[in-house]
A = this chain, B = another copy of it.
């Protein structure tokens, strides 16, 4: 297949929606991003990369980061993680408090805000916030092969300043005894992981191990156990896009993860990974133009996991 043509066509299909939707406004630093940005990167298992548009511009990866934090936390604590966070779709918006009440402080899945904070807490473990962040950054840098990946401190400060809701969630989870570390430390890691800046190319490259059953596709080096890898993909498929995860699976049929910065990371098992970026979000905070691009990509390639 002429992948470059397909990537270009996917981007063209999304053109109509460029600038549509709402740019995330929950923090001021995100609200100022140019809504017209649109980029797509496809990285195959051998590392071959096909890009279009703004695929090399770094953006705020927001909760896409949780895919990687989750990988690391599973390495640290293994299946014990599931004592602290569930693995079911919530049927509720990303930041909902309702289910936390009936579920006694155990977030439904690692991809809701509260769940991501529980994952951060487990990653910190008995270390401290700084060590945890360093481990996450080292992992991303190694996976993406880019030493320059870092936290956008301006965004991180903005997250913290506008972080009343997330602080509320963290204190709430903590009130049920479901955080090991102080709330301030946990939200600090959470705000900073959300504020990491990466490009589509970097994200797709970093995610390759998820497409190769947990090994580095190019070298065959083990990164994460195969069963854990499949489970992360299952979680991405069932819960990766908040309360439009079902719609994403329905339309695109690939494990994916949306971030409110407008990025969507999608894994094509056995094949590679794709990442799209366009800041305008739909009502459920998934990139509007981004989802269209991925939909076309899958239509042209037949890469749905359901074939």
Residues in chain A within 8 A of chain B (CB atoms): 86-92, 96-101, 108-109, 164-165, 167-172, 174-175, 183, 213, 226, 229-231, 233-235, 237-239, 243-247, 249-250, 253, 255, 269-270, 304-307
Which residues of B lie under 8 Å from residue A238 when comparing CB positions? 89, 237-238, 245-246, 249-250
Please, how many angstroms separate the alpha-carbon atoms of A231 and B253 in the complex? 8
A75 to nearest B CB, angstroms? 17
Which residues of B lie under 8 Å from residue A250 when comparing CB positions? 87, 231, 234-235, 238
Q: Are B167 and A88 closer than 8 Å at their CB atoms? A: no
Copies in the complex: 4
Please, how many angstroms separate the alpha-carbon atoms of A255 and B250 in the complex? 12
Main SS of the interface on chain A? helix
Top-7 shortest CB links A-B: A91-B91, A89-B89, A168-B171, A164-B175, A88-B246, A168-B172, A165-B175
| A242 to chain B: closest residue by CB | B88
Please, how many angstroms separate the alpha-carbon atoms of A270 and B231 in the complex? 21
Which residues of B lie under 8 Å from residue A306 when comparing CB positions? 229-230, 233-234, 237, 255, 269, 305
Please, how many angstroms separate the alpha-carbon atoms of A306 and B253 in the complex? 11
Q: Are B172 and A164 closer than 8 Å at their CB atoms? A: yes
| A97 to chain B: closest residue by CB | B97
Please, how many angstroms separate the alpha-carbon atoms of A213 and B253 in the complex? 13
Please, how many angstroms separate the alpha-carbon atoms of A174 and B168 in the complex? 9
